Amino acid sequence: MRVLVLTGAGVSAESGIPTFRGKDGYWRNLDPTRLATPEAFARDPQLVWDWYRERRQRIRNAQPNAAHEAIARLAHHAKDFLLVTQNVDDLHARAGMPAQKMVQIHGDIFVTRCSRCDWRTELRDADIHNIRGHIGLAGACPSADGNEQEDVEHGIPTCRKCRALMRPGVVWFGEQLPWNELQRVEDFLDGGACEVVIVAGTTATFGYIIDWALQGSPECLRGELIEVNPEETPLSRFATRLVREPAAIALPRIVNEMIRS
Ligand code: APR
C-alpha cells in the first residue's frame, strides 16, 4: 500500500502541546506578527527566543501519544510511506517515526540556525552540554557555578562562523518552505498515486497541504482520503471518510484496520 499522512498541531494536542487556532490555541492569545516572522525577530530577538524556549521546554516535558505511535506503526507496515508534518515538535520522531519517512515541512524547533549563514546546530537535551563549544553567546553571564550551559537557554545565541544572531530552525510566516524537504514531498508524490491519504489534526490553512492531500487536484484523488479532526476543515468536502474524533482515539483503530486488511 502507498500511504501519505499529513499532520498538524491537533495530533500533539493530546500530549499537552497547544494548537495554534483551536481552543486555547497560541494564536488565540498571542500575536504571530510579534513572535513568528523574520521582522518580529529583527525587532525583538529576546522576546522571540523566550517564547521558543518556553515551547521547547513544554515539548521536552511532553510524551508522544497513541496517534504518534499509530502513525509510526503504519510507517513500518506500509510499502511506500511518507509523513509530512507541520509540527516542529519531536513527538513523531520520539514515537519511532524513521527520519527518512518523515518531512518536517515547517522545520524543527530543536534546531538553532544562523539568521545569516548556513551554520546550524541541533539542541537536544544531551546536546546542551556539547553546544557550549560551538557558538559564542551575546550578553553571556556566567551562572552560579560558572558553567556556561545556562546561557544557551537564556541569552541570544550568536553564530560561531559569522557572529550574526542564531534563530530557531522553524519556518516563519512569510518565509519559503525548505527546498530539500519540498523536493522530498514532490518526489514521493511523483512516485505514484496513494491508496490512502490520512490528514489528521490540521486546519489545512495552507494551500500546499490541500494540494498534497489531493495529490495535486481532486481529479487526481484515486484512493481514500481520511480526515481525522473533531472539526470541519477546507479539506472535509474532498474526504472519502470523515472521522470527527480526537486523533489519539481514532488513529490506532484506523491503523489497525489498515494493517489487518
Ligand atoms: N485530534 C485531532 N485533531 C484535533 C485535536 C485532536 N485531539 N485537537 C484539535 N484538533 C484539530 C483542530 O480542530 C484544528 O482543526 O487540529 C487543528 C489544529 O489546527 P491549527 O491550530 O491551525 O494547527 P495547524 O493546522 O497545524 O497549523 C498549521 O500554522 O501557525 C502555523 O506553522 C504553524 O504549523 C502551523 C501551521
User: What pLDDT, on the 0 to 100 scale, is given for residue 23?
Assistant: 87
User: What pLDDT, on the 0 to 100 scale, is given for residue 144?
Assistant: 45
User: What pLDDT, on the 0 to 100 scale, is given for residue 155?
Assistant: 84
**What is the mean pLDDT of the segment spanning 119-144?**
51
Task: Kindly list the distances between the CA atom of residue 77 and the CA atoms of 5, 223, 248, in Å, as whole numbers in the listed order.
Answer: 13, 18, 19
Residue type, 161: K
CA nearest to 156, candidates 35, 33, 50: 50
SS3 15: coil
Pocket test for ligand 1, best of 14, 59, 86 (most atoms within 8 A of CB): 86
Mean pLDDT of the chain: 89
- CB-based contact 243:214 (threshold 8 Å): no
User: What pLDDT, on the 0 to 100 scale, is given for residue 126?
Assistant: 45
pLDDT confidence band for 131 (50 / 70 / 90):
very low
The pLDDT of residue 129 is above 80: no
User: What pLDDT, on the 0 to 100 scale, is given for residue 193?
Assistant: 86
pLDDT confidence band for 217 (50 / 70 / 90):
low
> Which residue ranges have their beta carbon within 6 Å of ligand 1?
8-10, 13-14, 19-22, 25, 86, 106, 200-203, 205, 228-231, 233, 246-247
The pLDDT of residue 184 is above 50: yes
Q: Collect all residues with Cβ–Cβ distance below 8 Å to 23 and sequence separation of at least 6.
A: none
User: What pLDDT, on the 0 to 100 scale, is given for residue 152?
Assistant: 52
| Of residues 128 and 29, more confidently modeled | 29
The pLDDT of residue 27 is above 50: yes
**What is the mean pLDDT of the segment spanning 12-26?**
96
User: What pLDDT, on the 0 to 100 scale, is given for residue 139?
Assistant: 44
The pLDDT of residue 135 is above 50: no
Show which residues are catalytic.
106
